[in-house]
Structure 1
């Protein structure tokens, strides 16, 4: 997978900034707050940049959370 470098990607920086408070966010939360569409791709790219992010399903919602 080709992933963007965090320092060159505004979309990855916005997603990371949202997740840095340690709370769990739904896919829709991230779409709205960070202005991105492909949340799963952003999460995968952040992982490639060294960030540990969990993904958990609760019912029909997926939650993403940065591991401290």
Structure 2
């Protein structure tokens, strides 16, 4: 897979901005909040750009959460 560069992708930037609160967000929340499709692919691209994103099922729905290390 060829991942877009975060610095050149408004699509990736919108999703990252939404996830920056560190809270879990469902796939639908991301689709609606960032106006994107294919959330799993976007998460893969963000990971390829060095972001650490946790994915887990909560109440039967996939949720994604940005993990930032405490510096």
Q: TM-score, normalised by structure 1?
A: 0.96
Q: How many correspondences in the alignment? A: 68
Post-superposition, which runs of at least 4 consecutive aligned residues in structure 1 deviate over 3 A?
Answer: none
Counterpart of 2:66 in structure 1 is 66
Tell me how large the CA RMSD over aligned residues is: 0.7
- 1-side partners of 2:58 and 2:3: how far apart? 28
- 1-side partners of 2:60 and 2:21: how far apart? 24
Q: Deviations over 1:8-60 (max 9, x none)?
A: 10000000000001010000000000000110000000000000000001232
**Which consecutive residues of structure 2, in runs of 5 or more, have no partner in the other structure?**
none
